[in-house]
């Protein structure tokens, strides 16, 4: 019954040619604003022109569409802090992947944006899981054959998307740059962590040298630089402190090395991984370095993550570190929405509930300077209405709004389910669409 | 995930009959009928030295029980004695010296069984020298046994225990058509793998369909390089195994020159005589249908298809052939054969009356199989099926026990079964619920509130801090 209602609501939504202008009232849900207003047991949200006009109990407002959220839970949409959405279809089918390249360059200039495919099947699937935005990064897998280049320690540039599947769904460009230190960096840089560190350091130094002497360098009246001008150009937003440098590091000592490096060049640092982050939580907090963690991965899977534990998020948050929780690495980018399961497990291991919700939405927005993540006046209307507690794996999104537009929650997974609900012999299945 | 994988057959009770060694090579055993049949399984080659003994009776009082056999009982008591489930009921009397567990607000389930694991043969930390799960030297390595790779000090074992896993099948990987033998372990500390071997559990044979074998060997310019090459490889091997089995049978029957032992063919012959269970990594519906026909052609049984992402497409065939399917809740897309995922997979298979179960194939997933089942249950409910916790719990307990041929001993809270029991802080299908206590054969082997009752592997001692603890 519920499904029918949702479907009709969506079908109706598609009839409005100018849905952007539609006003919507989400009525009577339990609302986690993730703003100063905190959580409201029963509240309404008024939306116009894709933005939230007002949030509060029993709003005196009318709207073209009213969504009854009674008994439901309303949160900002999930924002994935690290994904390969739109760059990957089938991981083991190389022609469907554009997330990683090899080559002679140090890697920072690589821009995956032209490869972005908003029609990827991963997008509706993760949208139906409650994800409304994602940061998309390229990647180097140091263990892929042929990927090891002594130069490449930067993965490249990144962008942010809305998960509405539209061709204009790129929300922000050059959101951050990503580099590898620690174990992965060592694999990429010729065998030692120290060599990865030296490469990142020298690239940042040359990027500054380039900035200070741009015209002389362009004219060729300068020494031969180690790195290409395209690579150094791509690092300008980082050395200018405009966009963060995301550095992968898990071992506590690698994290401290990254902090020292960032401090020396005055760059905004984000640590990705941080399995042993809890061991240096105070240093991270003091340096105001946020972390993106795989909160459900407690395996001592390498000698760099011997201290991995399920209360990492709780301990880091308690120390004052801003924590974002990524989709679990073991489920890959296809199931990026499972960050909410990881967040739920973090709550089970001591992370305060609201902090957990923030770790999959507003904290991500803060770290990468994106819209979204809160439900307050003026905020973009990226909203999920859940059947129940969003951190429970048995709950699911009943409605998803992106910039105030109701989204379809149909996926290949639901289509296949409906085709084979009662599998039987014969040929008829082929005519069930 | 990509190179790992798993099968099942019932009526293996015959295995548990006493073996009688008749000669050094041509071992035979007594079957149900009293006829001698050949002991190709070699159950006594590396005998289990598992020796958990329950030190005191345990009475869990007033808990919610999910029995695994289809019931949810409220405010019930459970008495564990001498390694077995002694009684289930109300107001049970505590025997002298019993450990009393206050079950108020707690839920109790059978111990979780993971039918697909590589703990010990792909241990943590994952380094070059510890990758012992795939003998990638030939498409048929039926001669290898996963137990000979198990590093018992893998710190993932105690982590899985903290997730309520009491029994697990460790399999060879899926690079080969025939990967070798699996082994079923109880999740207890062991200095040797024999210390962990589930007493009397049948062996499994790992087979693999699809992309992995053809990629590994096709990539080397050898056969198989296609799915049809895979199938030719299975059938040729079964022809050889059938001949081998007949050779030995003729020898036992009529004497003559003793045939030469062949480790690989011995394992396949053990499948043909019903002693070894086939665990078959197989994603696609078409391939499952082909494998079931191969089983018919050579007269053996497939226990379970593992990683059966498309099991829902052929759920009726699985039911008809009495073959189980082991599935993930939602993994997909890592390769083409894993592209057609639906989260309702387990529920559809279950509702078609086939034997459905969760599996992990992961050191992380194995710690949260209750959550994986919760997701699959919720997806089933959304599909319109009436599936409740009392039903879904079997996907991580009784059904994997069936798949492993140990359902007569464990997998449900029933009188006389092994006292493999998990006490949960609440409903196990909530993300906030934690395992509080785990009992194996009635002994308290894990207690969340008591570090002294939490096992640690050798590897963990002094590894992060010479004087302190890793966790």
The per-residue pLDDT for A104 is: 77
Is B461 in CB contact (< 8 Å) with chain A? no
d(CA B163, CA B159): 7
Same domain, A316 and A347: yes
Structural domain includes residue A251: yes
> Which residues of chain B are within 8 Å of residue A187 when distances are taken between CB atoms?
none
Structural domain includes residue A381: no
d(CA A346, CA A357): 11
Instruction: Provide the token pair at A57.
Output: 């109990």
Same domain, A33 and A44: yes
Same domain, A204 and A270: yes
Q: Which of A371, A390, A408 finishes a domain?
A: A371
Question: Are B312 and A306 an interchain contact pair (Cβ–Cβ within 8 Å)?
Answer: no
Same domain, A227 and A94: yes
- CATH of residue A336's domain is 3.20.20.140
The per-residue pLDDT for A140 is: 85
Same domain, A140 and A19: no
Residues A321-372 pLDDT 10s: 999 999 999 888 999 999 999 999 999 999 999 999 999 999 999 999 999 9
> Which residues of chain A are within 8 Å of residue B211 when distances are taken between CB atoms?
92
Residues B70-109 pLDDT 10s: 999 999 999 999 999 999 999 999 999 999 999 999 999 9
d(CA B142, CA B265): 7
Count of domains for chain A? 2
Residues B150-184 pLDDT 10s: 999 999 999 999 999 999 999 999 999 999 999 99
Q: Which of A88, A90, A348 sits opposite B339 (nearest CB)?
A: A90
* DSSP designation for B134: -
Residues B47-66 pLDDT 10s: 999 999 999 999 999 999 99
> Which residues of chain A are within 8 Å of residue B460 when distances are taken between CB atoms?
300
Same domain, A131 and A220: yes
Work out the mean pLDDT of chain A and round it to a whole number.
93
The per-residue pLDDT for A330 is: 85
d(CA A139, CA B396): 35
Same domain, A126 and A225: yes
The per-residue pLDDT for A233 is: 97
Residue that has been written with the tokens 């990026």 in this structure: A336
Per DSSP, the residues of A100-147 read ----SS-STT---GGG--TT-THHHHHHHTTEEEEEE-----TTSTT-
Is the N-terminal amide bond of A273 cis, ω within 30° of 0? no
ipTM of this complex prediction, to 2 decimal places? 0.94
Same domain, A54 and A86: no
Q: Count Cα neighbours of A371 within 13 Å in the Cβ-side half-sphere.
A: 20
The residue segments making up the domain with residue A145 are 78-371
Question: Are B378 and A301 an interchain contact pair (Cβ–Cβ within 8 Å)?
Answer: no
d(CA B232, CA A356): 52
What chain B residue is nearest to A338 in terms of C-alpha separation? B330
The per-residue pLDDT for B6 is: 30
Q: Which fold has domain B111-411?
A: TIM Barrel (3.20.20)
d(CA A155, CA A425): 49
Structural domain includes residue A222: yes
d(CA B315, CA A43): 45
What chain A residue is nearest to B122 in terms of C-alpha separation? A301
Q: Which residues are bridge partners to A319 per DSSP?
A: none
> Which residues of chain B are within 8 Å of residue A424 when distances are taken between CB atoms?
316
Same domain, A154 and A247: yes
Name residues 359-378 of chain B within 8 A of A (Cβ): 362-365, 367-368, 371, 374-375, 377-378
Residues A160-185 pLDDT 10s: 999 999 999 999 999 999 999 999 99
- CATH of residue A53's domain is 2.30.40.10
CB contacts < 8 A, A to B, total 140
Structural domain includes residue A50: yes
Same domain, A97 and A232: yes
Residues A114-148 pLDDT 10s: 999 999 999 999 999 999 999 999 998 766 555 45
A323 contact partners, CB below 8 Å, separation of at least 6: A290, A291, A293, A313, A316, A317, A355, A359, A363
Q: Which of A89, A302, A422 sits opposite B126 (nearest CB)?
A: A302
Per DSSP, the residues of A1-45 read -HHHHHHHHHHHHHH-TTGGG--EEEEEEEEE--STT-EEEEEEE
Question: Are B336 and A92 an interchain contact pair (Cβ–Cβ within 8 Å)?
Answer: yes
Query: Of A142, A64, A72, A152, nearest to A105 (Cα)?
Result: A152
Alpha-carbon distance B337 to nearest alpha carbon in chain A (angstroms)? 10
Q: Is residue B471 scored above 90 in pLDDT?
A: no
Question: Are A92 and B335 an interchain contact pair (Cβ–Cβ within 8 Å)?
Answer: yes
Question: Are A300 and B124 an interchain contact pair (Cβ–Cβ within 8 Å)?
Answer: yes
d(CA A5, CA A13): 12
Residue that has been written with the tokens 């049978």 in this structure: B249
Question: Are B383 and A421 an interchain contact pair (Cβ–Cβ within 8 Å)?
Answer: yes
Q: How many CB atoms lie within 10 A of CB A215?
A: 8
Structural domain includes residue A348: yes
Name residues 113-142 of chain B within 8 A of A (Cβ): 124-127
Question: Are A300 and B352 an interchain contact pair (Cβ–Cβ within 8 Å)?
Answer: no
Q: Is residue A9 scored above 60 in pLDDT?
A: no
Percent of chain A with pLDDT over 70: 93
Residues B317-354 pLDDT 10s: 999 999 999 999 999 999 999 999 999 999 999 999 99
- Number of helices and strands (H, E) in chain A? 14, 16
Structural domain includes residue A378: no
- Is A270:A178 a contact under the CB 8 Å cutoff? no
Same domain, A290 and A301: yes
Q: Is residue A78 scored above 50 in pLDDT?
A: yes
- The whole-model pTM stands at 0.94
Q: Domain boundaries in chain B?
A: 111-411
């Amino acid at each position: 019954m519920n499904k029918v209602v949702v479907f009709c609501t969506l079908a109706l939504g598609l009839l409005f040619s100018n849905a952007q202008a539609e006003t919507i009232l989400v009525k009577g849900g339990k609302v986690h604003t993730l703003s100063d207003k905190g959580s409201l047991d029963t509240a309404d949200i008024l939306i116009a022109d894709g933005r939230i006009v007002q949030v509060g109990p029993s709003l005196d407002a009318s709207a073209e569409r009213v969504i009854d959220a009674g008994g439901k839970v309303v949160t900002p949409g999930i924002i994935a802090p690290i994904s390969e959405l739109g760059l990957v279809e089938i991981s083991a089918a190389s022609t469907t992947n554009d997330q990683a390249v090899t080559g002679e360059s140090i890697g920072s200039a690589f821009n995956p944006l032209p490869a972005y495919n908003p029609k990827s099947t991963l997008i509706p699937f993760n949208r139906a899981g409650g994800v409304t935005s994602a940061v998309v990064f390229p990647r180097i897998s140091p263990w892929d054959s042929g990927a090891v280049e002594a130069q490449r320690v930067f993965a490249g540039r990144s962008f942010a998307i809305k998960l509405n599947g539209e061709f204009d769904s790129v929300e922000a460009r050059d959101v951050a740059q990503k580099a590898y230190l620690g174990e992965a960096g060592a694999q990429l840089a010729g065998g030692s962590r120290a060599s990865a560190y030296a490469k990142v350091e020298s690239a940042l130094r040359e990027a500054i040298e380039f900035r200070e002497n741009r015209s002389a360098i362009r004219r060729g009246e300068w020494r031969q630089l180690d790195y290409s001008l395209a690579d150094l150009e791509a690092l300008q937003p980082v050395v200018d402190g405009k966009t963060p440098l995301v550095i992968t590091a898990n071992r506590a000592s690698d994290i401290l090395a990254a902090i020292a490096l960032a401090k020396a060049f005055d760059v905004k640092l984000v640590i990705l991984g941080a399995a042993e982050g809890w061991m240096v939580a105070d240093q991270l907090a003091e340096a105001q370095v946020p972390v993106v963690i795989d909160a459900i991965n407690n395996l001592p899977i390498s000698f760099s993550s011997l201290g991995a534990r399920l209360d990492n998020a709780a301990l880091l948050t308690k120390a004052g570190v801003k924590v974002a929780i990524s989709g679990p690495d073991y489920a890959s980018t296809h199931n990026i929405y499972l960050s909410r399961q990881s967040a739920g497990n973090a709550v089970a291991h001591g992370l305060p509930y609201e902090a957990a919700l923030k770790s999959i939405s507003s904290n991500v927005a803060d770290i990468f300077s994106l819209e979204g993540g809160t439900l307050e006046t003026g905020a973009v209307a990226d909203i999920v209405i859940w059947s129940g507690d969003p951190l429970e794996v048995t709950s699911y999104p009943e409605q998803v709004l992106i910039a105030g537009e109701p989204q379809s929650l149909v996926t290949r997974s639901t289509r296949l389910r409906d085709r084979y609900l009662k599998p039987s012999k014969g040929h008829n299945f082929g005519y069930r669409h | 995930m990509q190179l790992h994988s798993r099968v099942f057959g019932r009526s293996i009770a015959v295995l548990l009959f006493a073996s009688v060694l008749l000669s050094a090579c041509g071992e035979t055993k007594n079957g149900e009928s009293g006829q001698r049949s050949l002991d190709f399984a070699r159950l006594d080659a590396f005998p289990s030295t598992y020796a958990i003994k329950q030190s005191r009776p345990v009475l869990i009082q007033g808990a919610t029980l999910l029995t695994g056999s289809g019931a949810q009982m409220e405010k019930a008591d459970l008495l564990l004695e001498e390694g077995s489930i002694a009684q289930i009921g109300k107001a049970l009397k505590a025997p002298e010296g019993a450990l009393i567990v206050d079950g108020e607000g707690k839920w109790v389930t059978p111990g979780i069984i993971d039918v697909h694991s590589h703990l010990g043969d792909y241990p943590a930390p994952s380094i070059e020298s510890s990758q012992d799960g795939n003998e990638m030297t030939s498409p048929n390595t039926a001669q290898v046994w996963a137990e000979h790779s198990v590093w018992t000090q893998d710190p993932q074992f105690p982590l899985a225990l903290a997730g309520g896993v009491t029994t697990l099948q460790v399999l060879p990987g899926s690079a080969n058509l025939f990967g070798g033998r699996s082994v079923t372990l109880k999740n207890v500390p062991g200095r040797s793998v024999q210390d962990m071997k589930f007493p009397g559990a049948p062996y499994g044979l790992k087979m693999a369909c699809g992309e992995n074998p053809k990629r590994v060997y096709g990539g080397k310019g050898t056969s198989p390089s296609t799915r049809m090459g895979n199938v030719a490889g299975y059938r040729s091997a079964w022809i050889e195994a059938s001949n081998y089995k007949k050779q030995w049978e003729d020898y036992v029957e009529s004497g003559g020159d003793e045939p030469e032992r062949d480790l690989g063919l011995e394992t396949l012959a053990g499948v043909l005589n019903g002693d070894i269970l086939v665990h078959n990594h197989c994603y696609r519906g078409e391939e499952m249908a082909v494998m079931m026909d191969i089983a018919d052609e050579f007269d053996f049984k497939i226990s379970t298809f593992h990683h059966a992402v498309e099991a829902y497409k052929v759920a009726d065939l699985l039911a008809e052939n009495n073959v189980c399917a082991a599935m993930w809740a939602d993994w997909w897309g890592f390769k083409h054969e894993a592209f057609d995922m639906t989260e309702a997979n387990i529920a559809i298979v279950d509702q078609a009356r086939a034997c459905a179960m969760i599996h992990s194939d992961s050191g992380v997933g194995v710690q949260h199989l209750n959550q994986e089942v919760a997701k699959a249950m919720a997806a089933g409910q959304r599909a319109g099926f009436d599936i409740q916790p009392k039903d879904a719990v079997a996907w991580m307990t009784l059904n994997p026990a069936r798949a492993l041929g140990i359902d007569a001993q464990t997998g449900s809270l029933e009188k006389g079964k092994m006292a493999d029991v998990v006490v949960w802080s609440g409903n196990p299908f909530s993300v906030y619920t934690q395992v509080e206590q785990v009992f194996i054969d009635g002994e308290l082997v894990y207690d969340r509130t008591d570090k002294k009752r939490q096992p640690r592997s050798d590897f963990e001692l002094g590894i992060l801090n010479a004087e302190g603890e890793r966790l």
